[in-house]
Structure 1
Amino acid sequence: MQLSNEMTDALSAEAALGTLRGAAAKRWQRLSAADSKLIDQVASWEQLLAPMANWLPETPVPTGVWNGIEQVLFAAPVPLPARRSTNARWIGATLAMAASLGLWLALPSAPTTISTPALQLKTLATLSSEHQLARWQISQRSDGQVSVSVNVAWQQPANRSLQLWAIDTEGTPHSLGIITLVEQSSTLNLSVTQRDQLSRVTVFAISDEPLGGSLNALPSGPVIFSGKASKS
């Protein structure tokens, strides 16, 4: 059965969240192995959802959970009966290893997949506005680039562009690039100079500019979202 675009998008979101189970998860693995676009969809969902974890309050782990982990990891080993000889222990261990190996060989093999390390995100700022419900999350990826995501569907006019600015300690704005949203998120590929400017940012802002961005080094359109840089 051919899956619709809506169905593959929904399954991609579940795969990113880790909620696929059983036969559905196995089938998704087979589909992803045959179609790299599905892997890209999952990566897009992961990039969109990951910053949302930073908005949740930290919840302490219950003491009972830690006690259970320590009991499993650091419990004292059970002594073997004294009358069992060293040879008997080695024979028993060998038989156990052989049985485990036989069981492993008997299990159906899953298709081999090559996984790449997940990108880590560091929150730089959350931008808001008095007149808009949208909230923009600005994050720096572990590869040095900047991720921009919005919590609601945003429709930008075809003849206008959103531009991200980093304002330094002297109040000078520096353009970080044009925000081109794909499923409510965008990645800005920064130059070495722009990455260096991130360490001196006090405020981030998004302005509404003519198509392609401001024609000079300053915002030419209204600033519609802004927020203070997070303290590292």
Structure 2
Amino acid sequence: MTDTLDDDDMLAAEYAIGLLTGEAFEAARARMASDPAFAARVVSWERQLAPLADLPPLAPPAGARAALLHRLFPEPARTPFWRRLGLWQALAGGAVAVAVALAVVDLGPIAPPQPGPLYAAEIASDIGDFRVVALVDKARDEVFLTRTAGAAPAGRILQVWAHGPDEPAQSVGLWPDGESVALALPPEIAAVRGTLTLGISEEPPGGSPTGRPSGRVFGTVDIPGVTGTQD
């Protein structure tokens, strides 16, 4: 990890770890939908933290807290966001393992946004029981999705769909479990220019039997102005 974090990295880390609440959470979520660079920072944190999320609870070794704070915030005049938001107290159980691992495992520098167009949007149901933040990375022709509310009903899975203007919905891929998923865009979807529409439905295990959404469609979102890396 880098030795110091700028304000945007700190905010992105707080959002990815789940520390933000109330107005701070709403402001960060709104910024993800309107600021692709900030959304990319959140995605970068989530990708780095994801492999550590399933670590079993453990007691941090003596001095781990001080070592972590010193490594991330070497300037004594700066108040660490861990202390400002009570992170050490907030990280319990498996989350403590994440903090300890961050102190002793070298994950490398935070990956900067890849060159090329990035598009962030939110897919939300009309009644507010399901929300997903989507980041479309045209440099890699993939979409990274994170659920912030709701889930598929028991015994069902999520399926991601997309299409261009006046085109039928096409499956991007299945989202069987987990809060986040990265899916490669099919060639026909990667070739869309102009408005790209993303949607999510709940389907039986194995996906829709019809090749089109067959269960509840939680919501869709239109992303205008989509281009490619060579445009």
- Report which of the two has the higher share of helix: 1
Q: Which structure has the larger Rg over C-alpha atoms?
A: 1
Q: Normalising by the residue count of structure 2, what TM-score does the alignment of the two structures yield?
A: 0.48
Q: Which has the higher contact order (CA 8 A, sep 6+)?
A: 2
Q: Normalising by the residue count of structure 1, what TM-score does the alignment of the two structures yield?
A: 0.48
